Amino acid sequence: NAGVMQNPRHLVRRRGQEARLRCSPMKGHSHVYWYRQLPEEGLKFMVYLQKENIIDESGMPKERFSAEFPKEGPSILRIQQVVRGDSAAYFCASSPGRSSGNTIYFGEGSWLTVV
């Protein structure tokens, strides 16, 4: 049973470009979470999605950031017009839901560097 798959592992973008990060949840998991990790700031919740629905996006910046989890295919975190402050590690996690006691399983992360 493959784990949570994230790609790309490393991404370099120039200021103003777009970044797309992909996440395939574990088999059987219908819940996807995105977190951002900055040095010395820990793990910050961004968004929680279920298939075709955004359940909680309280941690998403109001502009330039969007997320989707379509019926088919991976979840996508999209950052438009990237700025240097967007440089961070972005982690995706998945869960089968409350039947697992809310346990979530993380991918290896995508490291975004904005130059």
Residue 77 CA to residue 109 CA, distance in Å, equals 12
Which of 43, 51, 52, 70 binds another protein (CB under 8 A)? It is 43
The minimum distance between CB 37 and another protein, in angstroms, equals 9
Q: Which is nearer to another protein, 92 or 114 (CB)?
A: 92
3-state secondary structure of 26: coil
Length of the chain in residues, anyone? Answer: 115
CA nearest to 32, candidates 1, 9, 5, 11: 5
**87: contact with another protein by CB under 8 A:** no
Residue 14 CA to residue 95 CA, distance in Å, equals 33
**31: contact with another protein by CB under 8 A:** yes
Residues that bind another protein (CB under 8 A): 4, 6, 31, 33, 35, 40-45, 48, 55-56, 91, 93, 95, 97-98, 101-109
